[in-house]
Amino acid sequence: MKYKAVLFDLDGTLLDYRSAQRKATDNSKKLLDLVNSPEVQNYESRGIPSPDSPEMKQAFNSSGIQQNPTEFLNSYFKKLSEHGILMEGAKEILESLRNKVKLAVVSNGSSDIQNPRLNKAGIAHYFPNRFFSRDIGIAKPDPEILRIAMKKLGVTENETLFIGDSTTSDQPAAKAAGIDFFLFRGDFKNPQLQAMLK
């Protein structure tokens, strides 16, 4: 195989983020719209804006959610952390790679949320190396989080493949970092991906 390391995005790639969100919000469209707002998504991945900021309060007001942002977000993220739902084929591809390459997760999120989800999904043992944006202080599409991962794994750009589902964070991060990228669209048996992993 060409690669010595395969980096995986987590949400939408290995784990079903949308299902976890629906479970954490009791499938409320109003709450789903709120947790997918730029403010809450940025808070989840970068820690800003803070729950007590004017921007966050405005996001809650615009969504018609009359709850304390800090209390709501603490509750929501706790519920989110309880749902580790595997994407189809995720465990199989990890098992096929485990003794061939170094594996790591590079995720826009927090270890407090993502580690329990990895455990729930039964795939935590594949990833001794995990890189979470909230912990590092750098979020995709900033390529630096990928460079940090490669340095820790002891691999070069030419030896690394990144698999992710986002054209706005994963793909541009990989391009800027100078590493190969596969855009995941729900099928780990995709012939292009299988060819890349031979």
Q: What is residue 1's predicted lDDT score, i.e. its pLDDT? A: 87
Number of H-type helices and E-type strands within the chain: 11, 5
Q: Which of 120, 145, 105, 143 is nearest to 13 (CA)?
A: 105
pLDDT tens per residue, range 71-122: 999 999 999 999 999 999 999 999 999 999 999 999 999 999 999 999 999 9
Domain boundaries, the chain: 5-16+84-196, 18-80
Angle between helix 17-24 and 69-80 (nearest 10): 130
Q: CB-based burial of residue 196 (10 Å sphere; 0-12 exposed, 13-18 middle, 19+ buried)?
A: middle
Task: Supply the pTM of this predicted model.
Answer: 0.95
**Assigned fold of 5-16+84-196:** Rossmann fold (3.40.50)
SS3 164: strand
- pLDDT of 67 > 90? The answer is yes
